[in-house]
Structures are given as C-alpha cells and as structure tokens.
Structure 1
Amino acid sequence: MMNNSTSIQDWLYNCIRCGNCKYIFKDYSPSCPSGEYFHFESFFASGRLWLAHGIQKGELDWDSSLLDPIFACTTCSSCEIQCLAPHHEYIVDVIEELRALAVEALGPLEAHEKFAKRIQASHNPYGHEHHNRALLEIHNLPEKAPIVYFVGCTANYREEVIRDATISILKKTGIDFTIVDEYCCGSPLIRTGQIEQVNDLAEHNYSVFEQAGAKRILTSCSGCYRTLLKDYQKIGLRPDFEILHISQFVRELLDSGKLSLKISNTELEVTYHDPCHLGRHMNEYDAPREVLANLPITFREMEFTRENAWCCGSGGGCKSQYPEWSLETARKRITQAKSTKVSTLVSACPFCKRAFMDANDGSLDIIDLSEIVDRFTET
C-alpha cells in the first residue's frame, strides 16, 4: 500500500523533523519511550517517517539494520499527540504499514513469529488450549444474549482475575450476557506487521457475535477494544452492534443505578494509568476516572496523565521482542506512580497490568479497574 498511496506520500513530506514528537509540548518532558532509550533519531517518529520516505522513494534497500528502528516502538501514539503537522494522526498507521512491508521483505521478527504461529494453532498468542466454550458451563451462561463479553487473550490466559472480576460484576448487576467462542482479536498481529491471519480472525469473531444475537460487545482489554472498533473497520467490517470498553459499561451501570456499591471506610489510595490503546488511540480518558470517582477511595493523579501519560512499554510487540527496554519503560511509569504516595496503581488493560507487575518492586499493589470495581460491588 505504501508504494501506491498518494496520501501516505503527502504525510511523509509533511514531516520536517522539527522534533516536537520527542517531547511533551507544554514542558518539554520526554514523550517517546523508544527514542529516550535508544537515543538515535531513527527511534523517534521523525526518524521512522524519514526511513519510510527513503523506502517509498527507493533510496533505501531492505536489510536487517532497518528492523530495530521500525519495530522497537510501542506505537503508543504519544508522537501523534505532540506533533503539530497535518499528518500527525497517521504516524502510527505509517509505522504499522512499514512493519507489514518489512515482514513482506524480510520476514517477521523471531518473537513475533512465535506468537503468530500460536495464534494460528490455538487462537491465542500464548499457545494455551482454546477453552472459551467451557466458560459457558462453568459460569452457567446462555448460548445467546444481547451482551457478549469478549474476554481477550491476556485476561483469559494470563490475568484470569480480570476475567473473573468482570464476570462477577455482570452477574451481580443482573446483566443478560454470554461468552462466545472467540479467537484472538488480531491486535498482536496487526501491530507487528503480520497481517495475513487478521481477516480470518476478524470474520470468525464477527460471525460468533452475530450467532449469539449480540447487540453490544464488552471488552476488558484496551487493545481488543481498539481492534474490534477501529481496525476491523479498516478491513471492511461494519458492526451491527455497539463495542464498549468495560469502563464505559460500568459507568453506565453506575449512572443508571444498576450497580450498587458497598459502604466502606477504606483508606485505599489509588492512582490511574491511561492505557495507550484506550486513551490516545481511542480518546477515552474520562470513563475510568468517573468510575473511580464513585468508589470509596482517595484518588490522586500522576504528573503525566491522559494524553501525556507515559506508556507501559508492552505494546507493538515490544514486550516479546525487546523485553529489557519494555521493562525499563514500565519501571519509569512505576516511579511516576510512586511519586503520588499512593498504595495502588490501577489500569484498564490486562497487558498494562502485566507490564507493571513485572516492573514492580513490591511497593505498589497493581490491579485492574474491574478488580477494584468488583471489590466494592454489592452482591
């Protein structure tokens, strides 16, 4: 696509490498995790766009020296927020397209190829036995319901406590819902340029949503939310159902009075991390905060928050391919959370939670929004 797209050519020419993408505009604090870690221009958005320009013009040949600058990026979208040029909202699109071209020319990176093969074999990147149908029996759920809870791979196979807390909330509030025979949403493949399987995964998921009679789809994972709502439309799928992140649905339950909270004298002090896929990618900053505002907790914001939040370091295939850098990025966010003097760091994405748990030195409790909501929800 990059070879033939006039619009992409225009976006590349719009970048004058001014450097705004490297810093938070209001105070010039660092905003790009990869650029701050690797220290070369090619690891910032401006450098990546220049690489894309060289490939577009035929001035650069594909070789392995291009791979780290192209793939060592969490696609957190902070550069899109800071950039003031007309092309700013398409920077991540260009990077993801560049990755697809890299995979076509040189093949996928080793760690990325491993989880792609697992998705093909068992429908999830962790290689676990596919067990969604068993959840229907375990939780006594119907085959069909107006609301489908799309669990997501990480909540299903790594952070099951998030899945169970979400199911608990839905049951406590009397929601008519079910779980379907979902496959990986395809986000890990899209982010790493391995796009061959994505159409089949998307079509399967839309098919099982329709078979269940779904009117609304709920997700725990911010990456799943972005993929189901935004990426699937790019491949021509137009949903006949509404897609919501669990924070948005819980806010609805609170606003309607369907979710009753326990009266508590807890002294729990909490800060919140904005997942990149929920915040910068989908512009949802308020729902999680409005949910937290209803809980009997003390809430404190970090210095870098909302559109200026520091990334957890795990997105874009970086946790698997660049684990040391990913961990260092998460540690920096942990330090920012600790500076608020709270006891608990809450996020709204299973992948963010895992990143912070791996980076945590034991000084913070790391939990998902669904867990803290379930803790205070009346039976």
Structure 2
Amino acid sequence: MSKLRKIKAIANLGKHFWIHVFRRLVSKPKPGEEKRKFLEYYSGDKITALTAGDREALFEYQKCINCGTCARVCPVYAPAAHGHYRAPDSIAASLSRSFPEFGAARDAVYNCTQCGACALECPRGIDVPGLIMLVRRKSAQADAELIRNTFRERLQTLEKHGTAHGAPAADFSAYKKQGAEFVFFTGCAGRTFAADETRKTLDLLTVLGVNFTVVDDACCGGFHRSAGLLEPDSAVARAAAQRILDTGAAQVVTACPHGLYTMRTHPAYRDIRARHVLELLNSLDFKLAADARTAAYHDPCFLGRRLGVCDAPRELIARAGASLTELPGNRERTVCCGSQDGEFTLDPAVARAMAAERAAHAAATGADILLTACPACRKAFAQAAPNLTALTVSEYIADRYKA
C-alpha cells in the first residue's frame, strides 16, 4: 500500500512539473507580475520592513543576558501580575517574524510606562524603553489595529478637541503678547485637568515680572510618541515647534515633564531651547512665606530620571523653609507612580495600585504634604490617596509667594 502511494505521489509531482513547464512555454508573465504575486502571497503574514537603523538597534538589544534585573526594578511587573512582560530579547526576536505572532507581544510593550528604571539598572546598558518604542512604532506602521484601544480612543479625542484629555480646554489668551522673552507651553494637561495649576503659575510669573507669552493651542506630540506614531517628520511636532518659533521668544518653558522630554529629544524642536518652569523659577530672586510643615518630594520619571532635573524643585521647596524628606527611591532612582503614559497604557487598577504604593511611601515618612513637578503625577496621587495633600511645586510656590 505504501509503495502504491509513493508511485502516485511521484506521478502527481511529475504531472505538475510538466504542467508548469508547458505554462512557462506558452504564457509569458507580464513584467512585475511574479513579484506582485509573491508579495500578495506573503501580505497575509504582514512581514515587517526593517530599516538599517532598526536592524542595528535590534542587534544592540541582543546583548541581553536574561539576568532579570529589568523585571526586578519594573514598577508595573508586580501590580500587573507576573507574566505580562517578556524579556527584551524575546520582544526583539518577535520583530523578525510575522506580525500575527508579534501581535501577542503588544500587551507587553503597551504595559510599559516608559519610566526608564530598567535602562538605568541594566548591567549591559540596554535601552529597554527604546526597544519598547521601536516595537510600538513597527506595530503602528504595520497595522493601526495593533495600537492599544485606549491610545486610539485618545487620538480621536485629540483630533476632535485639540487635546488628548478632551474638552473643555481653558483659554489663556489674556496672557498672550508680542515681543516676549519666554513662551509658556501649556500642553494638553496644562489646559485641561491642570488648568488651575497653569493659571496659578502664569499669575506668579506675571507678578515676578517675567516677560512671557503663551502657546495653548498645540499638542507637543508626546502622546503620539507614546503610541508609537511620532516619526522624525511628525506633522504634530513640527506644527507645535512652529507655533513656538512664531512667537519670537528665545526660550520655551513648560510644567509638563513629558512635553519637555519630547522637546529635548525630537528633531522638530532642534532650534528651540526648552526648560521646565521650575528651572526658570529657581533662577529668579523672590521670597516665600515660611512653612513649618514637612514636605516629601516625588521625582517624576521623565523629569528626574530621564532629564536629570532634580535640584531645582528641591531648592525651591527649601526657600520656603519646609523640612524636606526624601522618599525611598528618589532622584534618578525614583519610583514610577503610573501616571501619564500609564493612564493610557495600563489597566486602570494597575495604575491606581502604583500611585497608591507611591503615596504610601510618602505617608510612611510622616510628611504633611507630597509635592511633585508633574501635573499628571499630582492627579494620580489625588485619585489614589484622596486623604493625602498632593500639590505640584509650582502650585506650592505660588501659594507661598510673598510679595
């Protein structure tokens, strides 16, 4: 029986071979037809096109020795339950295969808040957040459906309302003027849920005699960056940069660490000098009403760890005479509270758990107030620990200002 099957198989193979030869002799394919059919055949696998830069980056990520340090310091790993993350090398390897298989890795890459703790501690110096963003970018390029739903919903909100946080957006036109030295960039947060903080900061800058104007109608592109959609020639970033340049101001300041990070790292802002507003305030000479309370300061991940702005907030707090207590995990080794990127990427319960854990760190110090330099962090603390007094440092300084 097996011999008969073998004969039939050989006969069938021979038949198709001669049919193929005959077709090649009598029907010559049109130019490009074979290439088209080849690409059409493989389009279902959604094979990812990698640039030379992509390949170089992936080779770099293969330095991973699977020591587990990145998992040990990841603030999401414990709250999200073990198993949500893959090691960096396995995510990189998935890029060399078809996207249906890679699609399973998107839960891992979208559970990342981009806090950067893993890169700081990696013994091989691997830029793990960079790898995560590479995967998100390739995912978005291949199929928009692979972008996590929360991001796609926010993109629709951004397109409709001009801000990722929806309407209503505050109007700061009263602060706008010509010939300013500085431009205050509100960003999406600064004109929505943090509008009151923004107004306090602008009023303080006004009474301190700072010559500034405001850009309150542009998104910096940071949200697109987190979603994997911020390319080097991003129209969103270029439009925001042009709005800043059109003011003629020499410098831009913002209260948003994520916006500041975007401005300092994206090529669209190469001609713009950007600082956090606390850096500007710390360079000015003014007095603050004495404060006998104890304050704990939380370093935002993007400001403290990724940009190294750690001293200005602490020096401003010290001006008020408040007793500053450090949280476990501070400066470049701060602990992520799950805000901003976490708001769009994580399960809400995971984000709240991270914020509650960080708020518990502050409560354990016995501090009277918890201060931070990021409106998104302050919002996360207010939601996770409503009994804890949490303020941004700019709010705190505005309240303590003594004319």
- TM-score band (shorter)? 0.7 to 0.9
The answer for the alignment partner of 1:218 in structure 2 is: 253
- Distance in 2, matches of 1:288 and 1:198, equals 33
The answer for the alignment partner of 1:243 in structure 2 is: 274
- Distance in 1, matches of 2:342 and 2:227, equals 6
The answer for the alignment partner of 1:356 in structure 2 is: 381
The answer for the alignment partner of 2:402 in structure 1 is: 378
- Closer/same/farther in 2, CA of residues 198 and 297 from structure 1, 3 Å limit: farther
The answer for the alignment partner of 2:68 in structure 1 is: 19
- Distance in 2, matches of 1:305 and 1:50, equals 29
The higher relative CO (CA closer than 8 Å, separation ≥ 6) is in 1
Task: Please state how far the C-alpha of 1:53 moved relative to its aligned partner.
Answer: 2.2
Q: Please state if 1:339 is matched with 2:330.
A: no
- Distance in 2, matches of 1:2 and 1:48, equals 21
The answer for the alignment partner of 2:5 in structure 1 is: none
- Distance in 1, matches of 2:181 and 2:109, equals 41
Unaligned runs of 5+ in 2: 1-48
The answer for the alignment partner of 2:43 in structure 1 is: none
Q: How does 1:1-379 map to 2 (within 5 A)?
A: 2=50, 4=52, 5-23=54-72, 31-40=73-82, 43=85, 47-58=86-97, 61-62=100-101, 64-87=103-126, 90-106=127-143, 107=145, 108-128=147-167, 134-137=171-174, 139=175, 141-195=176-230, 199-230=234-265, 232-233=266-267, 236-239=268-271, 241-253=272-284, 257=285, 259-262=286-289, 264=290, 266-319=291-344, 321-362=346-387, 364-379=388-403
Residues 275 and 347 of structure 1 are in contact (CA less than 8 Å); yes or no, is this contact kept in structure 2? yes
- Distance in 2, matches of 1:157 and 1:170, equals 20
TM-score for the superposition, normalised by structure 2: 0.81
- Distance in 1, matches of 2:84 and 2:352, equals 21
When the two structures are aligned, how many residues end up with a matched partner? 352
Moved more, 332-341 or 100-109: 100-109
- Distance in 2, matches of 1:38 and 1:150, equals 34
- Closer/same/farther in 2, CA of residues 343 and 299 from structure 1, 3 Å limit: same
CA deviations on 1:216-270 (whole Å, 9 max, x unpaired) are 101001111101111x22xx5412x3210012111111xxx2x2323x3x32211
- Distance in 1, matches of 2:232 and 2:218, equals 11
TM-score for the superposition, normalised by structure 1: 0.86
Task: Tell me which amino acid in the other structure corresponds to 2:152.
Answer: E
Superposition CA RMSD, Å: 2.2
- Closer/same/farther in 2, CA of residues 63 and 16 from structure 1, 3 Å limit: closer
- Closer/same/farther in 2, CA of residues 116 and 166 from structure 1, 3 Å limit: same
Task: Please state how far the C-alpha of 1:282 moved relative to its aligned partner.
Answer: 0.8
CA deviations on 1:103-152 (whole Å, 9 max, x unpaired) are 33342211111111122222211222555xx4223x4x413411000112
- Distance in 2, matches of 1:14 and 1:318, equals 31
Task: Tell me which amino acid in the other structure corresponds to 1:238.
Answer: R
Query: Percent identity among equivalent residues?
Result: 23
Residues 271 and 337 of structure 1 are in contact (CA less than 8 Å); yes or no, is this contact kept in structure 2? yes
- Distance in 1, matches of 2:59 and 2:93, equals 14
- Closer/same/farther in 2, CA of residues 6 and 361 from structure 1, 3 Å limit: same
Moved more, 220-229 or 187-196: 187-196
- Distance in 1, matches of 2:103 and 2:249, equals 45
- Distance in 1, matches of 2:50 and 2:338, equals 27
Task: Tell me which amino acid in the other structure corresponds to 1:227.
Answer: T
What SS does the corresponding residue of 1:346 show, helix, strand or coil? strand
- Distance in 2, matches of 1:2 and 1:91, equals 18
- Distance in 1, matches of 2:349 and 2:232, equals 28
Residues 185 and 216 of structure 2 are in contact (CA less than 8 Å); yes or no, is this contact kept in structure 1? no
Moved more, 212-221 or 159-168: 159-168
- Distance in 1, matches of 2:88 and 2:51, equals 14
- Distance in 2, matches of 1:247 and 1:121, equals 31
Larger Rg: 2
What SS does the corresponding residue of 1:339 show, helix, strand or coil? helix
The answer for the alignment partner of 1:28 in structure 2 is: none
Task: Please state how far the C-alpha of 1:315 moved relative to its aligned partner.
Answer: 3.6
What SS does the corresponding residue of 2:287 show, helix, strand or coil? coil
Residues 113 and 345 of structure 2 are in contact (CA less than 8 Å); yes or no, is this contact kept in structure 1? no
